[in-house]
Amino acid sequence: MRSLRNATMQHDDEVFMALAMEEANAAAEVGDVPVGAVLVSNGVVVARGRNRREECGDPTAHAEMEALRAPFGAGWRREGTTLYVTLEPCPMCMGALVNARVERVVYGTTDRKAGAAHTLYRLGEDPRLNHRVNAVGGVLAQECREQLTGFFRELRKRRKASNAER
Q: Which residues are marked as active site?
A: 64
Angle (CA) 41 7 90, round 5°? 50
Cα–Cα distance list, 114 to 37, 58, 86, 90, 91 (Å): 17, 18, 14, 5, 7
Contacting residues for 112 by C-beta, under 8 A, at least 6 apart: 119, 120
Distance of CA 80 to the CA centre of its chain: 17
| Whether 124 contacts 99, CB under 8 Å | no
